[in-house]
């Protein structure tokens, strides 16, 4: 347990890695965490759509919002909260320090809910849930809810491309046009020269479309329609390069959509089928899906957007007050009131995975601690870019914290913010997701992980 404690303390020093962003309503204080076994997967279901009324919308305020009383998940949790409150009033340590720390963070940030998973040595993850999945209905967040993990999808896509390279189906330094044809990025001035390695290492020069104002304008009239990766590549190509090809690292999801198309071109299968057969199934992930080719069954957590992103979403997407939910001083965009087809198709192999949090912890560990990748492939994936202060390799960031190497990636999509990390020396994987996008600075999920690490370490020693 001492090694586990050291690892968690090291993990706590991380900040959120790259994501597609970095990549509302009454909130509740956290309930005590519970461990729950995930159910067997059910049949996939297509996302529902809701008509949006184009109009100006009131700008969301700060994400900070006072928390209300937590919704109990069962009687034992309510009892634990009572003990924690009594201990705090008496000046003693709270009976549930993990729940107390999460409650303080949720109160400060206004985050409605949070799920957390920790796994070591391939063991079944310990999973925890706090707060609400849906503010309007009062449905509590549970570890059985599926969440959108955004750019944590990228290391999975990179792993599949590296597998294909080891099978001599792909050459990392070959031009992408060799596999996708000359018109793969129509009008992009560097299309003939961009390599597969450029896609995975973010040196293609493409714009990050995910939170670009022009892309929001493209999305606004078609929120209830899916968008294809080819359309997004055309958007990025017409936008033009925003960084020097081949040498300057500029984080973007565009290259990972091209990587998905490459996977399909060389295998003859859908990207979802390849990710499932090469990663999800070997790792025993029964609650993980790549949208928009497949969707998780219910329950799916509802998401919210605040902060600067929430402020911009309303006017750019033509939302109304019907798409907002208020609590205290905070106004959030309620993602559940907006058609999801466009958003759930835009990420695909760069940010489309939806999963239960226990699977996410197993996933980040499994990429590096199983035979999904060999040592040479892991070395390729984790070698940082030579740019100063850039530890991002081919699909993952690598950090050296207190002598412990950490592989990490963050993810941000409308309604959700995630961080996943793996410490190879300790064979430890951790993942957490909140159903609120728009957190900034120390209030982001990396800062939360820092505050929780010592508490998790203490729990591990008990």
The answer to which of 253-257, 321-325, 441-445 has the lowest mean pLDDT is: 441-445
pLDDT at 392 over 90: yes
For 432, the domain range is: 2-146+287-345+418-461
Q: Which residue has the tokens 């033509």?
A: 318
| Predicted confidence band of residue 329 (pLDDT cuts 50, 70, 90) | confident
Which residue did the predictor score with more confidence, 300 or 404? Answer: 300
Give the mean model confidence (pLDDT) for residues 419-446. Answer: 91
pLDDT attached to residue 388: 60
Domain count, the chain: 1
Per-residue pLDDT at 62 exceeds 60: no
Give residue 93's pLDDT: 61
Of 331, 330, 333, 329, nearest in space to 313 by CA: 333
Q: What is the pLDDT of residue 451?
A: 77
Higher pLDDT, 157 or 73: 157
CB atoms within 10 A of CB 37: 10
What percent of the chain lies above the pLDDT cut of 90?
64
Q: Say if 309 falls within a structural domain.
A: yes
Is the confidence at residue 369, as pLDDT, over 50? yes
State the pLDDT confidence band at 201, using cuts at 50, 70 and 90: very high
pLDDT level of residue 458 (50, 70, 90 thresholds):
low
Q: How confident is the model at residue 55 (pLDDT cuts 50, 70, 90)?
A: very low
- Domain-embedded: residue 173: no
Considering the entire predicted model, what is its pTM?
A: 0.82
- Residue 125 falls inside a structural domain: yes
The residue length of the chain stands at 462
Token pair of 371 as six digits: 């035979």
CB 259 within 8 A of CB 170: no
Q: What is the pLDDT of residue 367?
A: 98
| Mean pLDDT to the nearest integer, 356-365 | 98
pLDDT at position 91, please? 55
Say yes or no to pLDDT of 389 above 80. no
Among 29-43, 266-280, 374-388, name the one with the lowest average pLDDT.
Answer: 29-43
pLDDT attached to residue 48: 34
In a domain, 142, yes or no: yes
Does the structure show a pLDDT above 60 at 333?
A: yes
pLDDT of residue 401: 55
The pLDDT score that the predictor gives to residue 5 is: 39
Mean pLDDT estimate for the chain: 81
Reported confidence tier of residue 95, pLDDT bands at 50, 70, 90? confident
- Check residue 83 and give its pLDDT: 37
In a domain, 212, yes or no: no
Q: Are 58 and 314 in contact (CB under 8 A)?
A: yes
77's tokens: 């949790």
In which band, very low, low, confident or very high, does the pLDDT at 413 lie, cut at 50, 70 and 90?
very high
């Amino acid at each position: 347990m001492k090694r586990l404690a050291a690892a968690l303390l090291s993990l706590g020093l991380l900040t959120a890695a790259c994501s597609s962003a970095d990549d509302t309503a009454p909130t509740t204080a956290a309930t005590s965490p519970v461990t729950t076994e995930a159910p067997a997967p059910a049949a996939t279901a297509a996302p529902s759509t809701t008509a949006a009324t184009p109009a100006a919308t009131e700008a969301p305020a700060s994400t900070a919002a006072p928390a209300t009383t937590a919704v109990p998940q069962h009687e034992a949790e309510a009892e634990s909260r009572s003990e924690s409150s009594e201990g705090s009033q008496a000046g003693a340590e709270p009976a549930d320090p993990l729940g107390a720390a999460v409650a303080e963070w949720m109160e400060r940030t206004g985050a409605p809910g949070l799920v957390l998973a920790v796994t070591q040595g391939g063991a079944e993850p310990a999973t925890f849930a706090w707060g609400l999945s849906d503010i309007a209905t009062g449905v509590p967040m549970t570890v059985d809810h599926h969440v959108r993990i955004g750019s944590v999808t990228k290391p999975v896509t990179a792993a599949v491309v590296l597998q294909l390279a080891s099978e001599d189906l792909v050459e990392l330094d070959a031009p992408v046009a060799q596999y996708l044809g000359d018109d793969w990025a129509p009008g992009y001035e560097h299309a003939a020269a961009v390599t597969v390695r450029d896609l995975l290492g973010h040196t293609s020069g493409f714009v990050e479309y995910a939170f670009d104002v022009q892309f929001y304008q493209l999305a606004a009239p078609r929120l209830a329609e899916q968008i294809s990766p080819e359309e997004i590549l055309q958007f990025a190509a017409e936008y033009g390069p925003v960084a020097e090809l081949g040498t300057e690292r500029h984080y973007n999801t565009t290259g990972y959509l091209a990587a998905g198309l490459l996977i399909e071109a060389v295998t003859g299968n859908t990207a979802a089928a390849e990710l499932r057969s090469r990663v999800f199934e070997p790792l025993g992930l029964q609650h993980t899906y790549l949208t928009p080719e497949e969707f998780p069954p219910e329950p799916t957590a509802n998401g919210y957007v605040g902060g600067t992103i929430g402020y911009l979403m309303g006017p750019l997407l033509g939302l109304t007050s019907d798409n907002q939910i208020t609590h205290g001083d905070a106004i959030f965009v309620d993602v559940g009131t907006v058609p999801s087809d466009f958003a759930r198709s835009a990420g695909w192999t760069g940010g489309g995975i939806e999963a239960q949090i226990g699977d996410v912890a197993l996933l980040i560990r499994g990429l590096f601690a199983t035979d999904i990748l060999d040592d040479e492939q892991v070395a390729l994936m984790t070698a940082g870019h030579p740019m100063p202060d850039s530890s991002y390799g081919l699909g993952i960031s690598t950090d050296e914290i207190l002598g412990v190497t950490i592989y990490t990636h963050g993810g941000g999509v409308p309604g959700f913010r995630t961080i996943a990390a793996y410490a190879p020396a300790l064979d430890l994987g951790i993942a957490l997701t909140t159903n609120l996008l728009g957190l900034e600075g120390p209030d982001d999920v990396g800062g939360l992980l820092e505050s929780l690490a010592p508490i998790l370490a203490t729990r591990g020693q008990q």
